[in-house]
Amino acid sequence: MSNSSSPNINYQALLKDALLEMRQLRAELAAIESQQTEALALPAAGIAVIGMACRFPGGANNPEAFWQLLHNGVNAVSEIPSDRWDVPAYYDRNPETPGKMYTRYGYFIDGVDQFDAHFFGISPREAAAIDPQQRLLLEVSYEALERAGQSPQQLKGSRTGVFIGVCFDDYAKYSIASNDPKQIDAYSSLGNTRSITAGRIAYVLGLQGPVMQLDTTCSSSLLALHLASESLRTGESDLALVGGVNLILAPEPMIGFCKLQALAVDGRCKTFDAAADGYGRGEGCGIVVLKRLSKAIANHDPILAVIRGSAVNHDGSSNGLTAPNGTAQSEVIRQALKNARLEPKQIQYVETHGTGTVLGDPIEVLALAKALGEGRTKDESLYIGSVKTNIGHLEGAAGIAGLIKVILALQHQQIPPHLNFQQPNPYIPWDQLPVAVPQKLTPWQDQNKQRFAGISSFGMSGTNVHIILENAPSSIQNSKLETCTERSRSIQNSDAIERPLHLLTLCAKTPQALRELAQRYKNYLATPPDTDFANVCFTANAGRSHFEYRLAIPANSYILCYENIVNYLDNTTDISKSQVSKIAFLFTGQGSQYINMGRELYETQSSFRHQIDYCCELLHPYLGLDLRNLLYLPPLPTPHLHR
């Protein structure tokens, strides 16, 4: 019964409005969920890895060299370098001898004492006081950005996050932890503070996203990857530098691990083998550059791989503080699968934590089979392996080393051989489990052009992380940076004209550095890359920072560019700033204009085109016409052109 004094209410209109509002709210909720989970079923889903750089044992100082090491099945184990400490003084084969280590082996990188302080604007005195781990991270982070085509100069003030895993600070022994207070100064205090490790990268590059140093021991760098992915999904970051570092500079941690009997006597990780007796400690640094996949596609960034999902948990109570928990390991893998919206059978390979310990290996393999073995037959076995058999256990950088290995394997569609696997561990029921260990280079067959892999890191602290990685979809895996032709259309909507020449610009902060850079490009171009020459030029020109000493090489092909670089290197005279000539452009005045004047320049040179467009838009209100129509459209001369 209605009240006659009440105003007329249009319930139908209200219901319609309410329905529309509910639909809008649902759409907004779906958009939020899509952003947070990256709507993994869509083509533009996930987190893209757009660049990476590394320094690993065995001379693997870049991803290409690292792949050769993996491809060829190289074991990079070596004796502890004599410049680290007095090895004989700290060695005793008896594990019970106080203050001694029972192994003389590990996996090491060269040149840890070298650093280009001038490049980063750091004084020699300060550089000497900075932990070499911080110095190494600066160099590898910078290289990773350039490999991703992200000019570090252009990232200043951006929401770029830095997520770094670091466990040890051996270098502090030589200053703030030396028991000599006179060794401590302002530089050594900051140079050996772990939180400064990530903060220094952000400070030097001017980055203003979330910055954090993480330490969960062995899972530190993969935890960094998990947190960085979440930061990108929620929009907290637009770009992320992620990785870890580990250097072995003092004997005390090595002695401690020997007292735990965690290390192998021969320094080799014999993962899954009956002879497994611990792991070999390893050094290295790895950095990847992450961006939301949709943004990477829109920006024509190179897509190396896609992070589909990740998860983290903790062992909780187990058989001991450092003992693994198989149930927790299975659960973190299942959660990562759920977040990636994948089924267990879709995972074809897992880069295991795989340290080569008597207790850890059987627990991990059984946990993998429990999480990923559902519905598999022996013919559909899950391949498992561990990069630790090649380069040792990098501790704080172990996870990122495994990730870079898997990215390279996805790109080459091959699974590298797993080393040191002679007699299968008898505590693992191999016949009952649908798992296989590749002992030779194995083709990586895909399912509908999709390949999925898992990467595990289980920290001695109890923190477990699992990442699900996918090859870049075939439609975008060859995505390259936009070329100099800009894919633009002319005013008549015809195809853009290809430039007759492209310009490769190289630059550095010193003449010697410029020559070294030119030498690297010479080596790179000796075998022409499988990509457009224009793309290489564009990436070098727009994806790198520009410095005072520069070299510009005009060419229309890899061959001509290579010859010009050789000619430059053969010239013993270094370029100096005083030799650089200034260039001016002269545009003549009234009387020289003609139809289609500068048209090819307009169609092929984006900077020129942008300026012409800008001027035409400014003049349009005053002239009542678009000058571009006057310049480029009429087939015949018009009197308006001569006004």
Average pLDDT over residues 240-251: 97
Task: Give the pLDDT score at 19.
Answer: 67
Whether 530 shows a pLDDT value over 90: the answer reads no
Q: Which band of pLDDT confidence, cut at 50, 70 and 90, is reported for residue 494?
A: very low
Task: Give the pLDDT score at 493.
Answer: 41
Measured CA to CA, the distance from residue 412 to residue 68 in angstroms comes to: 11
pTM (2 d.p.)? 0.83
Is the CA virtual torsion 569, 571, 572, 573 positive or negative?
A: negative
* Burial (Cβ within 10 Å: 0-12, 13-18, ≥19) of residue 563: middle
Average pLDDT over residues 152-171: 96
Contact 366, 428 (CB under 8 A): yes
Measured CA to CA, the distance from residue 288 to residue 306 in angstroms comes to: 12
Report the range of poorest mean pLDDT among 40-44, 350-354, 449-453, 557-561.
Answer: 40-44
Report the range of poorest mean pLDDT among 457-461, 487-491, 562-566, 582-586.
Answer: 487-491
- What values do phi and psi take at 556, rounded to 5? -115, 5
Q: Which of 377, 476, 390, 429 is nearest to 60 (CA)?
A: 390
Contact 24, 32 (CB under 8 A): no
* Residue 482, CB-side half-sphere exposure with 13 Å CA sphere: 11
Contact 564, 553 (CB under 8 A): yes
Indicate which residues carry an active-site annotation.
218, 353, 393
Q: Which band of pLDDT confidence, cut at 50, 70 and 90, is reported for residue 358?
A: confident
Helix H or strand E segment including 294:
helix 293-298
Is the CA virtual torsion 260, 266, 267, 272 positive or negative?
A: negative
Helix H or strand E segment including 105:
strand 105-106
116: left (phi over 0), alpha (psi -120 to 50) or beta: beta
Q: Which of 573, 527, 580 is nearest to 549 (CA)?
A: 580
- What values do phi and psi take at 579, rounded to 5? -85, -15
Beta strands (DSSP E) in 403-446 are 414-415, 435-436, 442-443
- Residues in CB range of 139: below 8 A, 6 or more apart: 115, 116
Q: Which band of pLDDT confidence, cut at 50, 70 and 90, is reported for residue 637?
A: low
Q: Which band of pLDDT confidence, cut at 50, 70 and 90, is reported for residue 14?
A: low
Q: Which band of pLDDT confidence, cut at 50, 70 and 90, is reported for residue 623?
A: confident
Q: Is 307 helix (H, G, I), strand (E, B) or coil?
A: strand
Tell how far CA 49 is from the center of its chain. 6
Average pLDDT over residues 215-227: 97
Contact 376, 382 (CB under 8 A): yes
pLDDT 10s digits, 45-64: 699 999 999 999 999 999 99
Measured CA to CA, the distance from residue 148 to residue 102 in angstroms comes to: 43
Q: Which band of pLDDT confidence, cut at 50, 70 and 90, is reported for residue 526?
A: confident
Whether 234 shows a pLDDT value over 80: the answer reads yes
Helix H or strand E segment including 507:
strand 502-508
Strand arrangement, sheet containing 305-314: 211-214, 160-165, 239-246, 284-292, 47-55, 305-314, 463-470, 452-458, 347-351, 382-385, 435-436
* Burial (Cβ within 10 Å: 0-12, 13-18, ≥19) of residue 487: exposed
Average pLDDT over residues 505-522: 91
Ranges 247-256, 354-363, 581-590, 613-622, most confident: 247-256
Contact 172, 400 (CB under 8 A): no
Instruction: Name the residue type at position 187.
Output: Y
Task: Give the pLDDT score at 635.
Answer: 59
Average pLDDT over residues 611-631: 88
Instruction: Name the residue type at position 243.
Output: G
More confident residue, 564 or 42: 564
Measured CA to CA, the distance from residue 201 to residue 431 in angstroms comes to: 49
Measured CA to CA, the distance from residue 455 to residue 406 in angstroms comes to: 8
Measured CA to CA, the distance from residue 102 to residue 125 in angstroms comes to: 36
More confident residue, 518 or 632: 518
Is the CA virtual torsion 541, 225, 273, 452 positive or negative?
A: negative
Task: Give the pLDDT score at 486.
Answer: 34
| Long-range CB pairs of 173-182, under 8 A, 24+ apart, other chains included | 173/249, 173/250, 173/252, 175/129
Average pLDDT over residues 65-74: 97
- What values do phi and psi take at 198, rounded to 5? -80, -35
The mean predicted confidence, pLDDT, of the chain is 87
Share of the chain above pLDDT 70, in %: 85
Angle (CA) 55-282-114 rounded to 5° is 45
* Radius of gyration in angstroms for the set of CA atoms belonging to the chain, rounded to a whole number: 29
pLDDT 10s digits, 136-151: 999 999 999 999 999 9
Q: Which of 369, 354, 145 is nearest to 269 (CA)?
A: 354
Q: Which of 58, 90, 93, 92 is nearest to 75 (CA)?
A: 58
Hey, how many other C-beta atoms are within 10 angstroms of the C-beta on 323?
A: 14
Contact 213, 197 (CB under 8 A): yes
Q: Where are the alpha helices (DSSP H) in 571-637?
A: 599-604, 606-623, 627-632
Residue with tokens 């637009």: 238
Q: What is the largest CA-CA distance in the chain?
A: 103
Task: Give the pLDDT score at 476.
Answer: 57
Q: Which band of pLDDT confidence, cut at 50, 70 and 90, is reported for residue 626?
A: confident
Report the range of poorest mean pLDDT among 5-14, 513-522, 601-610.
Answer: 5-14
Q: Output b/e per residue, 37-52; b: 16+ Cβ within 10 A.
A: bbbbeeebbbbbbbbb
Q: Which of 507, 496, 479 is nearest to 602 (CA)?
A: 496
pLDDT 10s digits, 183-217: 888 898 889 999 999 999 999 999 999 999 999 99
Average pLDDT over residues 508-525: 91
Token pair in block for residue 34: 């899509």
Token pair in block for residue 610: 């942008």
Measured CA to CA, the distance from residue 54 to residue 65 in angstroms comes to: 10
Task: Give the pLDDT score at 533.
Answer: 87
Whether 6 shows a pLDDT value over 50: the answer reads no
Hey, how many other C-beta atoms are within 10 angstroms of the C-beta on 374?
A: 11
Angle, helices 326-340/360-372, rounded to nearest 10 degrees: 40
Measured CA to CA, the distance from residue 130 to residue 255 in angstroms comes to: 24
pLDDT 10s digits, 598-608: 888 888 888 88
Measured CA to CA, the distance from residue 599 to residue 500 in angstroms comes to: 14
